[in-house]
Amino acid sequence: MHRFALLARGAAARPGTARWSSAAEASAVHISEKTSREKILTLESMNPLVKALEYAVRGPIVLKAGEIEKELRKGIKKPFTEVIKANIGDAHAMGQRPITFLRQVVALCTYPNLLDSPSFPEDAKKRARRILQGCGGNSLGSYTASQGINCIREDVASYIERRDGGVPADPDNIYLTTGASDGITSILKILVSGGGKSRTGVMIPIPQYPLYSAAISDLDAIQVNYYLNEEKCWALDVNELRRALNEAKSYCNPKVLCIINPGNPTGQVQTRKCIEDVIHFAWEEKLFLLADEVYQDNVYSEGCQFHSFKKILYEMGPEYYNNVEIASFHSTSKGYMGECGYRGGYMEVINLHPEIKGQLVKLLSVRLCPPVSGQAAMDVVVNPPVPGEESYSQFIKEKESVLNNLAQKAKITEELLNKIPGVHCNPLQGAMYAFPQIFIPSKAIEEAKAHKMAPDMLYCMKLLEETGICAVPGSGFGQREGSYHFRITILPPLEKLKILLEKVKDFHIKFLEKYA
């Protein structure tokens, strides 16, 4: 607090400033008798679209977790010694180690003197040199093209081709972004238009990742919900898409369909058949498709496989491949690398009108360029060591260790959650979350209503206060009326995750008893 005591508040007596004070005070008397004026920017005067916006994964429960952490640091006693932030897919914060090769390349780009150091492998140096050659003045400190560094966009295109068994990808269709969120909000921003009943409707899954509802709210677009089928392991059913679309047509102009695959928060992995059905539906109904594929490396269940929308689109033939407009998204934040802090990502657009590509570049140029170290990190993700290269064996070992570990945790989480009475959890086929359905007794629902709180918010608040576990209420993602859920990540280290799940179990049983 020392810093705030450096100067006394009343500087009015200084020579040369006194006239302002007296002028101000004189005028102040005319305007108001109060000493503290009304603010210009208030809850009443602010942008109502921002006020309406909600973002559950960083919402009230996370603010509360922060408060509790402060209290713990002050030595205030709690029934636990630490807050476990299971609210967000933040792998490194949960102890996952960075992929060595990725950090080596980014460090070499950051401080090119290291290119002479014998302690860095040649394959990392080769990549760093290539990235630096793509940077103005060979420096990560230069702005890049708004669309991202050329050679990295080429590497992304090559990666997509390898991933999709040779389906062509054009670097001109690749836009590097500040995480996937930036790509999603940018393309949504371009898509939204019209007023009243012709306002753009955006179809999103329920449950959804709240970036979608937040972006739609921010853009004053119309959110059109389609429900995933919890009974069928959160499968997407085209009949449900059709129902949602037809209803929406009476109050807006639905023209965008968002898909999250693998699902967040729901963890399902879409089948090839399902993707075909969705593409056909989008083609038939003239919907612009957004394919959020940031968990493409996170597939765990036997028999499940990631299929990109791009690949399936291609294989469905030219009528689809030449017409359906798609934007798909990837990121450095998830997968096996978990580099959230770098804010790296890319978007691939398919069948985008050439004039719209110009508009997109213009829109992106207002924020100048994505962070360049994030672009470099993205490059390593799409251009990792290959067999024969010096770093290959260590890279593969690290990558597989993370993914095997996640697969194991996905399985254990499902098993342990399903052992809790009044909890049901679908298989965690992919992504990094469990989204179990929880039974909340009617007495608890009444108590929540009395506090003007969603019942699962009450549940998660109590879970946090009693166990230190920070989970996100299902209401933050959306769910069928009358059903309740929460989302937790499976990222804590295995032993810690087991303890966490035991704590959830104990808490839940006590909760049921309390409100029986």
Residue 240 beta carbon to a copy of itself: minimum distance, rounded to whole angstroms = 20
User: C-alpha angle with apex 171: 131 to 145, nearest 5 degrees?
Assistant: 55
Residue 88 beta carbon to a copy of itself: minimum distance, rounded to whole angstroms = 6
Nearer to a copy of itself, 264 or 426 (CB): 264
Nearer to a copy of itself, 58 or 419 (CB): 58
- Which residues make Cβ contacts (< 8 Å) with residue 268, sequence separation at least 6? 228, 233, 234, 235, 236, 261, 262, 426, 429, 430
Residue 495 beta carbon to a copy of itself: minimum distance, rounded to whole angstroms = 16
Nearer to a copy of itself, 62 or 448 (CB): 62
| CA 194/CA 290 separation, integer angstroms | 20
User: C-alpha angle with apex 337: 333 to 339, nearest 5 degrees?
Assistant: 40
Residue 89 beta carbon to a copy of itself: minimum distance, rounded to whole angstroms = 9
Residue 480 beta carbon to a copy of itself: minimum distance, rounded to whole angstroms = 25
Nearer to a copy of itself, 147 or 301 (CB): 147
Is residue 304 exposed (0-12), middle (13-18) or buried (19+ Cβ within 10 Å)?
A: middle
Residue 341 beta carbon to a copy of itself: minimum distance, rounded to whole angstroms = 3
Tokens 């993602």 sit at which residue? 477
| CA 112/CA 413 separation, integer angstroms | 44
Nearer to a copy of itself, 18 or 396 (CB): 18
Residue 321 beta carbon to a copy of itself: minimum distance, rounded to whole angstroms = 7
| Half-sphere exposure of residue 205: CA atoms within 13 angstroms, side-chain side | 28
Check: CB of residue 423 under 8 Å from CB of residue 474.
Answer: no
Check: CB of residue 350 under 8 Å from CB of residue 81.
Answer: no
| CA 378/CA 151 separation, integer angstroms | 12
Nearer to a copy of itself, 342 or 459 (CB): 342
Category of 159 on φ-ψ map: left (φ > 0), alpha (ψ -120 to 50) or beta: alpha
Nearer to a copy of itself, 307 or 508 (CB): 307
How many CB atoms sit inside 10 A of residue 218's CB? Answer: 17
